Amino acid sequence: MKYPRLGVNIDHVATLRQQRGEFYPEVTRAAEVSLATGAHQITIHLREDRRHIQDRDVPETHNMCRKFKLPLNLEMGCSDEMVQIAILEKPEWVCLVPEKRAERTTEGGLDVLDPINYARVKAACETIKKMSPATKISLFVEATPQVLSKCLTVRADAVEIHTGEYAKDFLNKKDLSNHFKMYREGRSIIKAQGWGYHAGHGLTFESLEPLLAEKQFEEYNIGHWIMGEALFLGLGHVIKEMLTLMKKYPLEA
């Protein structure tokens, strides 16, 4: 049976570390526990303002992933600086995301319909693919047909659908049918081209299950909720619980 993959985002281990400027809690230790427990990859976001993950965390976390022969998924903006870091580090995955200094967390998907933004995304993809051919690229976007069709015109390998609005509506007990309809339609567009169809942002144990039942996404990247629960239950325990839930919902052949 084939099951969805779980990427564990460990950014907020670094958030806690940076609050005191200490060496702990160690980002690599979080990566090690996550991977040893069964996570399928580690996700980190190196932001321009370095509010949590620092430059040194990228190679150190990548080395830990290599130890387990599992991928590092490096989230990053499309700036020249970040593209150069990706080229030097050559992670297995890069996820291109929008970035604003004033935001608390990523607030939405890439605006690939804007000509200027589209040009930046396309150029970043071209450069990464040229200089690090083995690195796969995903685009963090909204699940609208226009956006997804536009994504397919650049050199990338997958989209990661921004599930933030779905997560909010779930929390507020609103009707979710429009989200599911959009995700199903989005999958048909993306899979027709053989791309990966991933999801992430704002998901919790409870809001993940309806998405698993829909069997649309092959990979979920989840961080903030896992780290919050880990404060009370332990990181390994939380990941085991989430993987157990995922194994209730095998993907269609």
Q: Could you say which of 12, 40, 52, 75 is catalytic?
A: 75
Say how many CA atoms lie within 13 Å of 34 toward its Cβ. 32
Q: SS3 string of 124-191?
A: HHHHHHHHCCCCEEEEEECCCHHHHHHHCCCCCCEEEEECHHHHHHHHCCCCCHHHHHHHHHHHHHHH
62 catalytic, yes or no?
Answer: no
pLDDT at position 237: 87
Question: Tens digits of per-residue pLDDT, 184-211?
Answer: 999 999 999 999 999 999 999 999 999 9
Domains parsed from the chain with CATH numbers = 5-246 (3.20.20.70)
Higher per-residue confidence, 106 vs 144: 144
201 is an active site residue: yes
> Catalytic site residue 81?
no
Tell me which of 45, 62, 162, 179 is the catalytic residue.
45
Instruction: Choose between 252 and 79: higher pLDDT.
Output: 79
Q: What was the pLDDT predicted at 9?
A: 98
Nearest by Cα to 16 from 8, 7, 25: 25
User: Which entry of 160, 201, 219, 229 is annotated as an active-site residue?
Assistant: 201
End-to-end CA distance of the chain: 8
Cβ pair 242, 6 in contact under 8 A: yes
> What digits encode the pLDDT tens for the residues 118-145?
999 999 999 999 999 999 999 999 999 9
With 0-12 / 13-18 / 19 or more C-beta atoms within 10 angstroms meaning exposed / middle / buried, residue 100 is exposed
> Model-level pTM?
0.92
Q: Which residues contact 246 (CB under 8 A, 6 or more apart)?
A: 3, 4, 6, 212, 220
Q: Determine the Cα–Cα distance for residues 29 and 31; give it in Å rounded to an integer.
A: 5
